Amino acid sequence: MKPTIAVLGGTGQEGSGLALRWAHAGYPVVIGSRDPARAAAKAAEIDGRLGRASVTGGDNRFAAERGDIVVLTVPYAAHRATLEGVKDALSGKLLVDVTVPLVPPQVARVQLPPEGSAAVAAQRLLGPAVKVVSAFQNVSSHLLEDAAAAVDCDVLVCGDDKDARGIVVELAKAAGLRGIHAGALANSAAAEALTSVLIFINRRYGLKTSGIRITGLPED
Amino acid sequence: MKPTIAVLGGTGQEGSGLALRWAHAGYPVVIGSRDPARAAAKAAEIDGRLGRASVTGGDNRFAAERGDIVVLTVPYAAHRATLEGVKDALSGKLLVDVTVPLVPPQVARVQLPPEGSAAVAAQRLLGPAVKVVSAFQNVSSHLLEDAAAAVDCDVLVCGDDKDARGIVVELAKAAGLRGIHAGALANSAAAEALTSVLIFINRRYGLKTSGIRITGLPED
């Protein structure tokens, strides 16, 4: 039986795209949002698109309690408050942090937090009872909208626990993406910083969906 | 007439690979090293391989004085001291910083400096009389050894001066690489951090030459 995946901030573009793909792959999914009505509506929308009943929705706490794996896709401004609000519900679980520390208005400029990365800040806030792994920061939400479309972007998976990283590499695969072991949680700084670079490249070259590939790996 | 390119630390693997490729492309090149005899030997070696006389060598100061464009490829431990030793020779010039802030023994772990990146630290040290652009941090030196071989890796080019960035994008092209405008000098944090990720990936997957590609760009 597949683990239940909770997606906090799952009504946003990145979160709902991931939720759609995991539901498509057969995982039970719980959408979380500050607004439980919006979460329920998004869950119904995904179920309607897929023609099945595998997605539920509620507030972020509702979702965090029900998820075996909890994925965080809120804007950076809500990162700390969201984690503080669900901290005790995450104990013993795996948190997949998708947060990118963008600081408006200069979102195309790398501005990493004092902890080095949002993911390291999350791990410090949550303590050792939660295994934090970071991933998916570089995947344009536009590329996730079609549940089965191929995505020309790799997922750098960073975390201090190798087995937890492996689970997230599998989750990337389930979402139709190539996940790559990218080292310690501190290495999340690279993935988080890259998102500002990709935003810059999108503007500079008139694109919407630039991404990254790691080269030199053998074909899967 | 092409500008003269000085490569400080040009007896190292990354520096000598770039020097070889720029000499191959017809640029006058000056190799700099702490040891002028080693620099002269490397210059002679490259001239011998290419069958022409376009590379000279001397100490880092000799090279910095003669270069129209100065490329810095020293190990991070020598970054500050090298810059301090050639600072006045760089005035009015473009410095291309290739330095990656690796902190042994944990070189596969991102450990960015307090300034956010080595390139920003260089700019602060040199002041506004020098235009610092960062590039080439992610290109495995193994891929540069053959002057004309195709390289499956992009070059993220970061700098606060758009025209200076454009010059470095052209230098990448001259070296057989695709250079991409990647934003402000602060964005060098992404490229510098990525190198530790690539070192991790090389170890984890048994590779020597992993690299990155930006996806979604139109073909050149």
Cβ-defined contact of B187 to A181 (cutoff 8 Å) = no
Pick the residue from chain B with its C-alpha nearest to A194.
B190
Check if A107 contacts B (Cβ < 8 Å): no
According to the model, what pLDDT value does residue B98 have? 98
Residues of A in contact with B180 (CB under 8 A): 201
Cα distance from N-terminal residue to C-terminal residue, chain B? 25
Look at residue B43 in the predicted model and tell me its pLDDT. 98
Strands B5-8 and A154-159: unpaired
Could you tell me if A113 lies within 8 Å of chain B, comparing CB atoms? no
Q: Tell me what pLDDT residue B75 has.
A: 97
Q: Is A182 on the interface with B (CB under 8 A)?
A: yes
d(CA B150, CA B132) in angstroms, rounded, equals 27
Per-residue pLDDT of chain A (220 residues; tens, 9 = 90+): 899 999 999 999 999 999 999 999 999 999 999 999 999 999 999 999 999 999 999 999 999 999 999 999 999 999 999 999 999 999 999 999 999 999 999 999 999 999 999 999 999 999 999 999 999 999 999 999 999 999 999 999 999 999 999 999 999 999 999 999 999 999 999 999 999 999 999 999 999 999 999 999 987 5
**Within chain B, how many helices (H) and strands (E) appear?**
7, 9
List the single residue in A with minimal CA-CA distance to B201: A182
pLDDT score for A216: 95
Q: What are phi and psi of B195, to 5 degrees?
A: -65, -40
Ramachandran region, residue B51 (left: φ > 0; alpha: ψ -120 to 50; beta: rest): left
Task: Tell me if residue B154 falls in helix, strand or coil.
Answer: strand
pLDDT on residue B164? 98
A186–B111 C-beta distance less than 8 A: yes
ω before A105 within 30° of 0 (cis)?
Answer: yes
Best to test chain B binding among A117, A151, A187 (most B CBs inside 10 Å): A187
Verify whether the Cβ–Cβ distance B194 to A194 is below 8 Å. yes
Rg for chain B, CA atoms, rounded: 16
